[in-house]
Structure 1
Amino acid sequence: MKDKIKDAYESSKTIYDDVLTQGNVFSRLYIKLFWSGTDDNVIAEKVLSYIPDDFSGQLLDVPVGTAVFTKNKWSSLKNAHITCLDYSKDMLEQAQTRFTDYTHIQCIQGDVGNLPMTDETFDIVLSMNGFHAFPDKIKAFQETHRVLKPGGDFIACFYIEGKSKRTDWLVKNILAKKGWFTPPFQTEEELKDILEKLYQIVDIQIDRSMVYFHCRKR
């Protein structure tokens, strides 16, 4: 399963940024038809707004992808220590290119289901557009929680099931079969139940078939 996911993201590395940022007419049409016009640029802006502009602690970005949305924010946090992790070497190489001149940012390859960090390392764990691809989502929730300090923030966004029949059809019949998404997927209610068992503060926002949220660890 992991190899299928890695191969899928390798095959899409030349179009990945354009699809997410709606950089051409075809990606905009795709988003309009199958994602009800959800704008990942807007969601990314809202997600990143949870992170203070003067943040100076330890931050984990998993998966970093190509860093198309996070490059500007991370490069501006000069006093922070940022670890960017991804399972895909191809995605990670593109992120590394964006962060070449920034010594406070480290890019490493790794698996979210077995993070190579000790307990309670990070003040913030961010996961953008990752959980719908992770093969073992429960383990990913456990691992991101494990490496987060008490009082730390878990911030994320990803696809959730049950909000749009058209989007659910696309995910089930195309994206999952190609390896870009990996079932099972949470509904809003299932996700809320998982998060409330792990975190003391849970702020969940829904934008069509995408969820974004901010949680604080007990």
Structure 2
Amino acid sequence: MKDKVKDAYESSKNIYDDVLTQGNIFSQLYIKLFWSGTDDNVIAQKVLSYIPDDFKGRLLDVPVGTAVFTKNKWISLKNAHITCLDYSQDMLEQAKNRLNEQTHIQCIQGDVGNLEMNDETFDIVLSMNGFHAFPDKMKAFQETWRVLKPGGDFIACFYIKGKSKRTDWLVKNILSKKGWFTPPFQTEEELENILEKLYQILDIHIDGSMIYFHCRKR
């Protein structure tokens, strides 16, 4: 399953950024028809706003993807230590090129279900558009919690089911079969139950079939 996900994202490397950022008319129509007009650019800005502009701690970005949304923010955090991780080596290479070898940013290949980091390493863990692709979501929740310091922030956005029949159909019949998304998927209620066992939920929002939130480790 992991290789299927990796192959799917590597095969879409030439269109990935355009789809997320709605860079052409076809991606705009796709978002309008199947994602109720949800704008990933706006969600990304809101998610990144949870991270202070003067942040100086340790941050894990998993998966970094191509860093299409995070580039400017990460480069600006000169006093932070940022680790960008992705399972796809191809995605990681694109992120490296985009981040321009900044000395405070490290890009590494790895598996969110088996993070090679010590317990309580990071002040912030960010996961943008990742959990709907992770094969073992519960392991991903456990691992991101494990490497986060007590009082640290878990910030994320991803697809949840049950908000749009059209989107749910697309995810089940096309995106999951292609390997871009991996079931099972949580509903809003199921996700909140998972988060409440691990974190204090500070802020949570629904935009179409996407959820974004800011939590704090107890």
Flag whether TM exceeds 0.5 (same fold): yes
- Residue pairs, 1:181-192, within 5 angstroms: 181-192=181-192
Shift of 1:69: 0.1
Q: Secondary structure at the match of 2:183?
A: coil
What count of residue pairs does the alignment treat as equivalent? 218
- Report what 1:18 is aligned to: 18
| RMSD of aligned residue pairs (Cα, Å) | 0.6
Q: Distance in 1 between matches of 2:201 and 2:24?
A: 38
Shift of 1:99: 1.6
- Report what 1:158 is aligned to: 158
- Report what 1:105 is aligned to: 105
1:56 aligns with 2:40: no
Q: Distance in 1 between matches of 2:72 and 2:81?
A: 15
- Report what 2:30 is aligned to: 30
Unaligned runs of 5+ in 1: none
1:43-81 deviation line (CA, Å, top 9, x unaligned): 000000000000000000000000000000000000000
Q: Distance in 1 between matches of 2:116 and 2:92?
A: 16
1:134 aligns with 2:134: yes
Q: Distance in 2 between matches of 1:3 and 1:135?
A: 10
Unaligned runs of 5+ in 2: none
Assess if the C-alpha contact under 8 Å between 1:195 and 1:202 holds in 2. no
The amino acid across from 2:30 in the alignment is Y
**Structure 1 runs, 4 residues or longer, greater than 3 Å off:** none
1:86-122 deviation line (CA, Å, top 9, x unaligned): 0001100000001224100000000000001000000
1:79 aligns with 2:79: yes
Shift of 1:201: 3.1
Identity %: 88
| TM-score, normalised via structure 1 length | 0.99
